Amino acid sequence: MQKLDNYKDAVNFWEEIEKKIDDLAEIIKIIDEKKDKDILQETKERLAKLEKEFIEHEFEALMSGKYDSASAIIAIHSGAGGIDAQDWSEMVLRMYLRYAEDHKYKTEIVNMSKGEEAGIKSVTFVVSGAFAYGHLKNEAGVHRLVRLSPFNSDNLRQTSFALVEVLPEIESDDEVKIKEDDLKIDTFRASGAGGQHVNKTDSAVRITHLPTKTVVECQNERSQSQNKETAMKILKAKLYKIQQEKEDAEKKELRGEYTSAEWGNQIRSYVLHPYKLVKDHRTGIETTDPEKVLDGDIDRFIEARLKGVVWREDRK
């Protein structure tokens, strides 16, 4: 039913766009630019709004992947850089939460491990909405921050890393088969902020998939059964990713192209000092306004990656 609703929304949107274009075309034919200045201005504004709507939805037509229309499960892990890296991971989390808010996606934090002094060690959250995974899938990778550290007395320049994982939320049980015997399920008391019930019962759930040693946790829901259900969704997505990576690695190895993924292979750098710059290393797209990017304005990077754009010096 969710898939059907998504298809209906897509068809309705493009039919409405077509109608608006026809209406504007008729108005433009009869406008007298000298006499109808107010109507002309209103038409220009409507056209600009229509173009914005078109561009925003154009990318959905580029999303033909199997799970592009699905919701996204995102995990952020702090890397090298100590407290600064944990603080950086929390900044990355805020960036994606703001992006989701701006695009009318719903978000839910499933599990979070806070840092001892600041920031977060890791967090897993769900971004719910049509094409959330299609938009965010290319955000997976290492994100690098360069800034003056607010956590050392000398205020020295510090480089920090955060690893972002993006998985599709898989609803079907046919895609990934999980045997009950392969699971180890532990329950424990939720940590951190919570209501009267959350921190007083063993409602949090940890599931270990024994063959792959994959571990997932959920402690956000009130009941143990809800946490287990959410954890199973995340486990299913992680196992699907492992399965796909194994198949891709085997294909590349057969062609003699296989290289292992390494921590240092960052996809994007965010420089706050000694100059200001955010640059995507895959497309070359960059901006000198990192504050705006960290406030959720990452559309230019997402759109360039979806379109396969590579920015060259001779284009500037």
- Beta pairing class for 72-78 and 106-114: unpaired
Query: Coil, helix or strand for 316?
Result: coil
Residue 306 has pLDDT above 60, yes or no: yes
Task: Specify whether 305 is located in the same domain as 276.
Answer: yes
CA-based radius of gyration for the chain:
23
Q: Which domain holds residue 197?
A: 180-254
Q: For residue range 137-146, what is the model confidence (pLDDT) as tens digits? A: 999 999 999 9
Collapsed DSSP state (helix, strand, coil) of residue 228: helix
CA gap 230, 208 in Å, rounded: 14
Pair (149, 33) in one structural domain:
no
Q: What angle do CA 123, 245, 278 make, to 5 degrees?
A: 55
Answer yes or no: do 157 and 192 share one domain. Answer: no
One domain for residues 32 and 147: no
What is the per-residue pLDDT for 185?
Answer: 95
Same domain, 131 and 159: yes
Same domain, 120 and 230: no
Structure tokens at 10: 């897509």
In-domain check, residue 152: yes
Are 307 and 273 found together in one domain? Answer: yes
Please say which residue of 254, 282, 301 terminates a domain. 254
Peptide bond into 150 cis (omega under 30): no
Q: Is residue 174 part of a domain?
A: no
- Identify the CATH number of the domain in which residue 240 sits: 3.30.160.20
HSE-CB for 80 with a 13 A CA cutoff: 10
Residues across the chain: 316
- The answer to whether residue 260 sits within a structural domain is no
Question: Amino acid identity of 157?
Answer: R
- 222: pLDDT strictly greater than 90: no
- pLDDT for position 308: 79
Give the domain-ending residue among 254, 275, 300: 254
Could you give the CA distance from residue 31 to residue 38 in angstroms, rounded to a whole number? 10
Let me know whether 110 and 162 are in one domain. Answer: yes
pLDDT digits (tens, 9 = 90+) for 6-52: 778 888 988 999 999 999 999 888 887 777 888 888 989 999 999 88
DSSP state of 257: -
HEC string for 159-199 = EEEEEEEEEECCCCCCCCCCCHHHEEEEEECCCCCCCCCCC
pLDDT tens-digit profile of 263-273? 557 899 999 99
Q: Is 203 in contact with 194 (CB distance < 8 Å)? A: no
Q: Alpha helix (H) ranges present in 103-151?
A: 132-136
pLDDT for the residue 135: 92
**Residue 314 pLDDT more than 50?**
no
Are residues 138 and 81 part of one domain?
A: yes
CA distance 220 to 209: 20
Residue 92 in domain: yes
Q: Does the pLDDT at position 57 exceed 70?
A: yes
Q: pLDDT tens for residues 271-297?
A: 999 999 999 999 999 999 999 999 999
Averaged pLDDT score across all residues of the chain: 86
In a domain? residue 78: yes
Confidence at residue 198, expressed as pLDDT on a 0 to 100 scale: 47
Based on the domain organization, do 143 and 31 belong to the same domain?
A: no
DSSP for residue 70: S
Q: Which of 94, 102, 92, 234 is nearest to 163 (CA)?
A: 92
Please tell me the total count of domains within the chain: 3
| Domain assignment present for 261 | no
Q: Which residues have a Cβ under 8 Å from the Cβ of 268 and sit 6 or more positions away?
A: 141, 143, 144, 278, 279, 280, 281, 301
Q: What is the pLDDT of residue 63?
A: 78
Query: Which is nearest to 54 in space by CA: 85, 88, 20, 87?
Result: 20
| Residues 280, 163 share a domain | yes
Q: What is the domain-level CATH number for residue 98?
A: 3.30.70.1660
The pLDDT assigned to 7 comes to 79
CA end-to-end distance (rounded Å), the chain: 46
The conformation of residue 68, written as its DSSP 8-state character, comes to: T
Residue 114 pLDDT > 70: yes
Is residue 259 one of the residues assigned to a domain?
Answer: no
**Quick one: tokens of 157?**
């320049």
In the predicted model, is pLDDT for residue 250 greater than 80?
A: no
212 domain residue, yes or no: yes
